[in-house]
A and B are shown apart, each in its own frame.
Chain A
Amino acid sequence: MIDPIEPPRRKNPLLRTRLPTAPPRARSRTSHGFTRAAAEGRFMLQRCQGCGTFTYPAREACPSCLSSALAFVDAPARGLLLAETTARVPSDVYFRERAPWRVGLVKMDCGPTIVAHLHADCIEGAAVRMSFQLDKSGQAVAFARPEGETPDMADDRQWREMTADPKFRRVLVTNGRSAIGREAALALKAAGTKMVFVGIAEPWRPFAGEELLRRQDGIELVTLDAADEKSVGDLAADIGGKVDILVNTTEYVRPGGLLDRKGTSIARDEIDQAYLGFINLAQAFGPIMRMRGADGINNSVAWVNILSVHALANWPAFGAYSASQAACLSLSHCLRAELRPGGIKLMNVFTGPVDTEWFQTVPQPKVAPRAVAQAVVAGLRDGLEEMYVGDVAEEIRQRLAANPKALERELDR
């Protein structure tokens, strides 16, 4: 039985803030097959391509037939909890602070036995549902949850260490002028946030949906022009210590590549808004978020970027935009590494063309802004690092893995 978490009380300003610590980080290279699985919310195991045996932990030769053809594949996630123990006095600092900590050994239906973190509702001898989650070191760990839903399941203490649930947390949505920003604010509020700050640049300019946002309890509009370092710094000075989740909804979409444009003024704006804006946000909010990674129930937990999937594969019709997104993607990897010591997850949400004005001439399928917003909430709840929203994004993900050259040629229509 889970005790539902209580809304956190106001922080005592006279007490030292507990600093983030992290579980053991070292992993073998092959073991990062699980990192990839956890990042995307998939349950994968190595399966011998020769004899079909599933095996765990990660290794270089099949223990049944010694074949080295061990591939990570999606695997059945059901298993049986054979034994559990509660570590009362762990020697590792991270776990010592969070003791008692419950782990168990699960026998998977598909064969291997897996040492896993346990959800409090897992019962010895009963079936469990396994997943790989990213822990506070950013590494994949096995996590067993009961097979069905149990009350207040997401409030499990150990599960919350693996996820970035918006419940009771305070979120900054950096750009509320866009439809995605607006929908994200509403979706996060519906997910139980304590407060959603919504950044608005150039408040002297009206925008669609402004009235709707202003009317909401639990949503507060703040002035934020991410590309203006002073604006970002001023906002961080005000609310930096209250941003538990930052959702970067910067949006600057213009058509065109290289030869169909003249001059660099639009490109300059693309870089200014998306790339330099990212840098300003990271420099202003990153350090305080990193420091607050262990700061209670509403500790800082996640940074989310909404990126075009064409950051991964340039779409010449929107070639300059794709390039600016690619630049932001690379920066996000840098930021992910720099936030990791604070236990902050960085999640990239890739979408194909969104159903908004600048993609107006692009045929369906396009992604509804609301779908992006809901994906953000789902990804935070599941503790993911990479999400692909909509058919186009998912297809591009698959085609990139299969043959990037074919994808490149076919995007050049």
Chain B
Amino acid sequence: MTNSLRVPYDGIVMAAPVTIPYVRYSIESAQWWIGRALRALVTESGLKVSDIDGLCVSSFTMGTDSGIGLTQHFGLCVRWLDTIPLGGASAIAALRKAARAVQARDADIVACIAGDTNHVDSFRLTLENFSRFNQDAVYPYGAGGANSSFALIARNYMRSFGVTREDVGRIAVAQRANALRNPHALMKTPLSIEQYLAARPISDPIHLFDCVMPCAGAEAFLVMREDTAASLRLPAARLLSTIERHNAFADDPMQVRGGWAMDVGELYAMAGVKPDDLNIVQTYDDYPVISMMQFEDLGFCGKGEGAEFVRQHDLTIDGDLPHNTSGGQLSVGQAGAAGAYLGLVEGLRQVLGVAGPTQVRDASLGLASGFGMINYDRGLASGAAIFAGPSR
């Protein structure tokens, strides 16, 4: 059924989903968090450190290090190495690169890791050095971060398609309900739609519960061939398809769609599935309005129909379209670049049946998407992946 021209991911799997629980502030370095994730990958999988022959890392707070510094730091000897600076799209990008490397046997076992610390000035320093366009043409305007840039996008999107704050709030409220089952979520109190609507404004129309909480943490997984996972007796999920697109729709005066909309047909064609087949969806939720945009751009509904879609579906773990089942970044926290991984790692747990308190019954086919790098006035990077558990 596939009519994609791209080489299928036959025999490529993901295993050992790892989350190092987040904390609001940490005096440790990013390298400490990444090191902990690496160790967890090793102990989870029963591998030796020397078995890992590929490394892909993403982090905003590694300071002067990139991936190469970490090889010596952690005692890794790898034949494949990448550092991915794509923010919220880093996990999908890492997965794609690692998958092809393993497929071509350039590496056998690739560790994909993202980790960030959060010092009291981490957020500000990250913003200041984010990108040249942000430095020249956004930061001087007082936004102090993505909030005002996304506020403008949200305002335009909501105005263009008649979306209300209540529509958007449904997504946040459902995610909070999911998060209450996740012992590691940093947000621990219930959120009603009334509370969501009454929350204080940050940058109109973005209010408090539209925003993630920056924190410290790490996420990781392994990419390998199916036969490698079998020989290790490691539960693994098959990678069915991926897409990746950057700086799409540059002529849109304001961003109302992400790159997924360009390649969504290929995402499903390559996987041989339809949106209705998916048990779980993990969107990149830096803001709930962006999740709504992903429902449209990832084929669940048409452009401008996201509000109606959200009204018609129950996005909780027990609902008809379980979405951001761990609570998403909005309720768990955003640990820098690890935010890119949060959805994919939780999705892996779901289809492997090891999600524990947040497990969706019979989860077997999942989608995770990434979005990031708000450069100047729009998010440039995007990607998505569809994966299947052993039961599919």
Contacts and interface: CB of A to CB of B under 8 A. Distances in A.
A223 B129 CA distance: 51
A107 B253 contact: yes
B141 to A, nearest CB: 5
Decide if the interface of chain B is mainly helix, strand, loop or mixed: helix
Interface in B118-146: 123-124, 127-128, 132-133, 135-145
Contacts of A135: 140
A234 interface: no
Given A57-B376, A88-B204, A28 B141 contact: no
Contact of A86 (B124, B140, B144, B203): B203
Interface stretch (A109-117, A278-286, A346-354, A366-374): A109-117
B201 interface: yes
A95 B376 contact: no
A116 B140 CA distance: 9
A89 interface: yes
A113 B132 contact: no
Interface residues of B, number: 38
B253 A113 contact: yes
A92 B137 contact: no
A26 B137 CA distance: 10
A95 B127 CA distance: 15
Contacts of A141: 140-141
A95 B250 contact: no
Interface stretch (A3-11, A98-106, A149-157, A171-179): A98-106
Contacts of A137: 140
A31 interface: yes
B147 interface: yes
A305 B270 CA distance: 69
A83 interface: yes
B135 A26 contact: yes
A117 B142 CA distance: 9
B214 to A, nearest CB: 11
A221 interface: no
A101 B142 contact: yes
Contacts of A87: 142-144, 147-148, 151, 202-203
A398 interface: no
Nearest to B201: A88
A358 interface: no
A63 interface: yes
A295 to B, nearest CB: 21
B45 interface: no
B287 to A, nearest CB: 12
B140 A63 contact: no
Contacts of B203: 85-89
Given A28-B135, A105-B152, A63 B142 contact: no
A136 to B, nearest CB: 10
B155 A85 contact: yes
Nearest to A25: B140
Contacts of B253: 82, 107, 113
Nearest to A116: B141
A203 interface: no
Contacts of B250: 63
A127 interface: no
A344 to B, nearest CB: 18
A86 B137 CA distance: 17
Given A26-B128, A113-B377, A85 B135 contact: no
Contacts of B159: 83, 124
A115 B133 CA distance: 11
Interface residues of A, number: 41
A277 B148 CA distance: 47
Interface in B267-290: none
Contact of A56 (B132, B137, B145): B137
A24 interface: yes
A113 B250 CA distance: 11
B136 A94 contact: no
B137 A115 contact: yes
A28 B201 CA distance: 32
Interface in A14-55: 23-24, 26-28, 31
Given A26-B135, A105-B254, A91 B145 contact: yes
B128 A117 contact: no
A20 to B, nearest CB: 16
A102 to B, nearest CB: 9
Contacts of A24: 128, 135, 139-140
A250 interface: no
A20 B338 CA distance: 37
A395 to B, nearest CB: 33
Nearest to A91: B144
A139 interface: yes
A57 B137 CA distance: 6
B88 interface: no
Contacts of B254: 82-83, 105, 113
A28 B155 contact: no
A31 B155 CA distance: 28
A105 B377 contact: yes
B219 to A, nearest CB: 25
A116 to B, nearest CB: 7
Contacts of A23: 140, 142
Contacts of A142: 137
B26 interface: no
B143 A103 contact: yes
A209 interface: no
A92 B250 CA distance: 29
Nearest to A125: B159
B205 interface: yes
B155 A84 contact: yes
Interface in A63-83: 63, 82-83
Interface of B: 123-124, 127-128, 132-133, 135-145, 147-149, 151-153, 155-156, 159, 200-206, 250, 253-254, 376-377
Given A83-B153, A85-B205, A91-B144, 16 more contacts: A27-B136, A28-B136, A31-B137, A63-B250, A82-B152, A86-B201, A87-B151, A91-B127, A101-B142, A103-B152, A105-B152, A113-B377, A115-B138, A115-B149, A115-B377, A135-B140
6 contacts: A82-B156, A83-B254, A85-B148, A85-B206, A101-B142, A115-B138
Interface of A: 23-24, 26-28, 31, 56-58, 63, 82-92, 94-96, 98, 101, 103-105, 107, 113-117, 124, 135, 137, 139, 141-142
A-B pairs, 4 with minimum CB distance:
A95-B142, A91-B144, A85-B151, A57-B137
